[in-house]
Structures are given as structure tokens and as C-alpha cells.
Chains A and B, each alone.
Chain A
């Protein structure tokens, strides 16, 4: 889900504690802890973990000497090396910055059916990823064969253009090489352990209620992410891999995100009123009438989604990586 959905959920979690609402009335900022806890897992990943990951294969193309074939060869060789050594390797693709607002786009695709890596040069784009007209150069694409069998992966082109480029973990699993997109994301930061740890830190610093708010807000983030196609490493440090999610939504789907933010805001308003000296809201009217557009929109979303899913039958791995692409896009948009 998008950051604002997690953040709003975290704040809403805090308002379920009457003592926190009363403290807030007296000038406390305790409810902000819920928002912080709600956004903390992505903060850890996108502001720290991604930069601490050490790449084994670094693709760092020169803007004026872009050699698509050489890049494709290097990536394919890396994948084959994983089969030979059985050793996990990290592949990192750097972006090509041309100026304060201009970037040279290139893209790569792992064609798992044809066992090929395809690399091609794209247009020059600005930081909004809008292409500069007539900037597409006629550079031949690079194609390199992979000897190692591959597990099905994201089947569309992955664009490398602005800010920080993506990374991939290449790992030997079930007699095939698995290409794991942005492996630093949704690991320890998105675990029950982290929720408990953050709750304990908040509790020690600000008291029991703060601890419960911080811990539960982080846990809410972790649970919300389980609704997607890719869950998280929920039981870290006992487990080492990311689990499958419930396959209900993608991280960037507008309606589920809007539903979550809207419902969280409704909970915040309702709880603030409920715990005030003179409650004014009629729960039946508030939830039965005013909230009604949100579940109706969500029901429509699921109707459309399952109709499309039945028609398209997109592979699970591809769906999971679409989740991650959506999260990367959010970081870019922000």
C-alpha cells in the first residue's frame, strides 16, 4: 500500500486508546507516534536498507557510451555464475544522470521463456519521467542468452531512469535461478519482531500507551502489506524469505488506498468524538450512511479486478513484482 495509507492507519490505531485521545486534548503529540510507526517499515527500507546493500554486479553505464550488448552479456554471465557457484549475487543497475532534471533512460527485461536478457536504450526523460521529444537514439538493443534455467519473473521491461536504480538478488532455488526484485525491501523491517521492538522502544521512552500505539501501528503496516501479492518476511529472524500475500490488491491501486485513507480518517473522527466529553455523532448514520461510498467503491474495485484476473491469468511472480514496482514508483513520485 502507499505510504499515506499506512500513515493514516497508524494514526487511526492510536485514536482507539481513550487515554491517548485525552492526552492529545491536553497538548500531547502522542498520536503522531501512530503515524510514525505506520510509515517506519518503508522508512527503514527506502532510506537506509537499500543503500547498505553491497552489489556484486554493478551496471553503471556511461551516458555517451551506452553498450546495450555489453550490459546484457554482463547480466547473463552473472546469472550463469549463480548456477555454477550456487552463491547468491546482488545485481545493481545505476541510473544515468545527465543534468539537474534530465536522465538517460534504459530498460531491461528477463525473458524467462526464451532464457534471454534484453537491454535497450530509452529516451532522455525529466524527473517526472516525461520523455524529451526526439531524444530516442538509434542504439541497437542487447540480447544475451542465459544457460541457467530461470524461475518465472517479472515479464515486462523494467525501466531504469531517475534517482536510484533497482537491484535484484540472483539466487539458486529449486534447481533454477530466481531473480528477486529489490531484495532489500519487506524483509526484517516488515516483521512482527520489528513491531514488538518499536513498541518496546516507544514504551520505554514515553510509557505503556505510547508503546502499544507505536507497536500496533507498525504491525498494522505489516498486516496491510499482506493483502498484496507479495507479503513480507513476517517471522524474521526465524525465516529468511518473503512470503506470498493474500493476492487481493496491488500496492498502487487507487481505490483500495483511498478506501484505507478514508476509513482511517472516519475512524479518527469517530474516535475523537466518542472519547470527547459530549459525543455528537450518531454511529448508525455515520457508518451506515456517510461511510457507505467507501465499501461500495471497494466492492466495485474487487468486481472489476476479479473479472480482469480471470481473463488475464497473470503469473504470481509477475504480480508480486508489479507490487514492488508500484512501491518504487511511489518513492519516485514523492
Chain B
């Protein structure tokens, strides 16, 4: 095998990065939406673009997206399932004139994620194949345990006021109750989508798009419109208040969470980062933002990288899942080409992050934030309609009030992930159809 054999793949990866980096600026436009369309096109065009080239294009796309999707989360306030934890500290930074700094901190975390992937690559086969052998039969209860922790570790945010103990308990439990209700309603929505989705069959790979947009992006955008958020003049800083110790702690914590999320089904970068943040007892906003950057990068890119593992081919994540239907990667050479491209495209997309963040700063400084939010809402609606039709719009409209509950009551937005955690945990335990029948969804 010639050692330059894979060199022709480099432009595809770079092209993918450039495409996705730009598309990542559109709020809630997930890389999987575009990748799904690419794969549909590639199905009919496999003669002119080979499997390896398509895989490399998608790799570049996922790298660009994983690095740049924070821009829309921070500056437009439209998060998805993996950036839900970034949007809150990110918007706080934005309101303190430090939006650019927040975006760059996530990028630094993502660059740390690149380094972690480089370091792990030689050991990846041994580690992940062994872990998969041991843990695969236990996934259902591990997911249940993660869910239990998420729900149990939400603590009351009220309870000071009330003449009696019961009155204070009620005050405290209002938010917790709403958190549980959010989880249950999201879970039921997830079961409905799994068994009786109104999304047309030909667009079924976009099944979760309207739910995610409704649960995560629309409520936040609506909040920005209703509250009349005003963004102050932003400061483009040349230096950052992040000493090496802070960066190292953020990357370490994010790497743990991201790798966990990359490996475990259903666990997103946000959940992984949240668990790792708890496990490593971090309290610093900067550490948190850096860790979320590293976590979501490793979640998206790490999961896709596992697909290329020689002799293992672990299919985790939407991108690998879609690609696996038409393509099988082969060879150690391709795996190391993937690793090298992660480094090249990771650095390239970091450069793009700096540029696009400045562009976003320019935008929020010149256009009224309410108009930006209204335009974002319009884009979200159009995206859902064009991708999934009126059925998808209906799902989005149902999901929006569920996603709005945590915002109105101050409970945890993470509970909206019941939409994937509940149906998949039940299915892995073999209980999915029984529960769906119990809810009257299946007959």
C-alpha cells in the first residue's frame, strides 16, 4: 500500500469543514440534517464520489460543526442538545460584553479535545473494544442510572418563603415537580416519535429535529424576544483570562465527559460534560465553558472516529449511523488518516471560529437583538417545515411548551433529554413496546 494513498482525501475533509463551519452559524441547523441530505445525494452519486471520500467529507463537516455550533448558541441564543449547557454561561458572558471570549474559550476546549484524540488514537482499539465487550449487555441499566442521577441531583431553588414547613416544602418542590414533569412529558413525546412519528418516512432520519428545536431552541429564542434582551457593546479581547491550570482542568473534565458521551449511546456531550463537571468538582465558569467545548467536540468527532477503528467499527452517533447504511471503512491507514484530518481540520475550524465569532459580534452590535431573535425564530420554523413538513411543525409546537416549562419555573433544561433517554432505555430493557402499548400508542 502506497503511503500517499490517502492524500487525495485531504481536500474532501477540508471542504467538509468549510461547508459545516458556515452552516453551523444557522441556528439549530444540525450537521446531521445536512449530512443526511448529503448521504441521500451520495447514494445516487457513488460513482463520482467514493465511500472514503464521502466519509472524509462528513468527517470534515462534523469537525467544523463541533467547533462552531457554539456561535449560534452564544450569540443567537439557539442551543441544541449538546450546547444547552453552553448557552446559559455563554449568554451571561455576552451580557457582560464578553461573548467573543466565551466563544473562544469553547474553541480552546475543542482544541484540547483534538489533542486528547491524538493521544488516545494508538490505544483506542484496545480500550474501546474491551469496554464495549464488557458494557454492551448492561447499557439499559447504565442509562437508567444516569437518568436517576440527573433527576435526583436536581436540588430545590426556592423554599425560603412560607409560614409553615409544608408551605416552604411546596415552594421548594414546585420547581422540582416541574423538572420531573418536563422529563416525563419529554419521555412520552420521545416514545410517540419512536413508534408513531408524523414525520414523513423519507425524512425519518430527521425524526428528532423538530423535537430538539421545540425543546431547546424555540423556548430560548422566545424568552429573548419577550424579555427584550439588550446586548451591550462587545469587547474583542486579545488575551484571555484563562491560565494554563484553568485550561488544563477544563480540558481534562471535558475530555472525560466527551469520551463517555462518544462511547455511550444516547448520552450527549452536554450530559457527559455535566457528569464529568460533577465528578471533578469544578466550580469555575471558565473551566465549565472550556470543558463544554472539549466535551461536545469529543462527543461528535470522537464518536465518528470510533466508526473507523480497525476491526472494531463502533457505530455511535447520528453521523456514523447514517454512513453505516451505505459504507464500511477498512484498514488501519484510513483510521490514522482520520486522526490526522481531525488535527488539520480542528485547527482550521478554530481559525474559522475566531473569524465567525467576530462576524457574530458585528451582527449583535448593529442589529436589535429582538430582531435577531425574531429572524432566528423564522429560520427555525422554516428549517423544521422544509425538513419534516407540517408533521414536524406539529411536533415542534408540542415540544415548545415542554421546553418552556424549565425556563418558566427555573428548573433544569437537561430534563428535556427525556425525549431520547426514556424511549431508548426502555427499548434496551425490552420494555419499549409494552410501555408504548400502555400509553395507547401501540395497539
Contact = CB atoms under 8 A, between A and B. Distances in A.
B134 A273 contact: yes
Contacts of B200: none
Interface in A294-334: 329, 331-334
Given A43-B152, A164-B158, A164-B172, A25 B137 contact: yes
Given A24-B138, A47-B172, A165 B278 contact: no
Interface residues of A, number: 56
Contact of B285 (A5, A35, A128, A258): A128
A31 B141 contact: yes
B278 A2 contact: yes
B172 A35 contact: no
Nearest to A28: B141
Interface string B84-102: 0000010010001000000
Interface residues of B, number: 47
Most buried by A among B149, B159, B161, B285: B149
Contacts of B162: 51
Nearest to A270: B134
Contacts of B118: none
B96 A133 contact: yes
A53 to B, nearest CB: 7
A329 B284 CA distance: 12
A254 B135 CA distance: 27
Nearest to B157: A163
A29 B165 contact: no
B131 A130 contact: no
Nearest to A265: B279
A252 interface: yes
B8 to A, nearest CB: 39
Nearest to A133: B96
Most buried by A among B140, B152, B280: B152
Interface string A278-295: 001100000000000000
Nearest to A24: B141
A3 to B, nearest CB: 5
B366 interface: no
A258 B279 contact: yes
B410 interface: yes
A46 interface: yes
A54 B145 contact: no
A272 B279 contact: no
Contact of A94 (B135, B161, B410): B161
B281 interface: yes
A2 B281 contact: yes
B144 A29 contact: yes
A258 B156 contact: no
A94 B158 CA distance: 10
A276 B282 CA distance: 35
A67 B86 CA distance: 38
A15 to B, nearest CB: 10
A126 interface: yes
B168 interface: yes
B130 A3 contact: no
Contact residues of A: prevailing secondary structure: helix
Given A27-B140, A29-B144, A51-B172, A7 B281 contact: no
B41 interface: no
A269 interface: yes
B92 A280 contact: no
A36 interface: yes
Interface string A7-42: 110010000000000001101111110011001000
B122 interface: no
A205 interface: no
A50 interface: yes
Interface string B169-210: 101110010000000000000000000000000000000000
Interface in B127-155: 130-131, 133-135, 137-138, 140-141, 144-145, 148-149, 152-155
B169 A39 contact: no
Contact of A126 (B92, B282, B431): B92
A206 interface: no
A50 B92 contact: no
Nearest to B281: A254
A133 B153 CA distance: 31
A164 B160 contact: yes
Interface string A93-106: 01100001000000
Contacts of A280: 130, 133-134
Given A39-B152, A273-B134, A280-B133, 13 more contacts: A2-B281, A32-B141, A32-B144, A35-B152, A47-B155, A47-B173, A54-B164, A60-B160, A128-B89, A164-B160, A257-B279, A258-B281, A334-B155
22 contacts: A4-B149, A30-B141, A31-B145, A36-B152, A39-B152, A47-B173, A48-B169, A51-B168, A53-B165, A54-B165, A94-B160, A95-B160, A128-B92, A164-B156, A254-B280, A254-B281, A257-B280, A257-B281, A269-B134, A269-B135, A276-B137, A332-B155
Q: Which 7 A-B pairs have the closest CB atoms?
A: A52-B165, A254-B281, A4-B278, A51-B168, A261-B279, A331-B155, A51-B169
Interface of A: 2-5, 7-8, 11, 24-25, 27-32, 35-36, 39, 43, 46-48, 50-54, 60, 94-95, 100, 126, 128, 130, 133, 163-165, 252-254, 257-258, 261-262, 269, 272-273, 276, 280-281, 329, 331-334
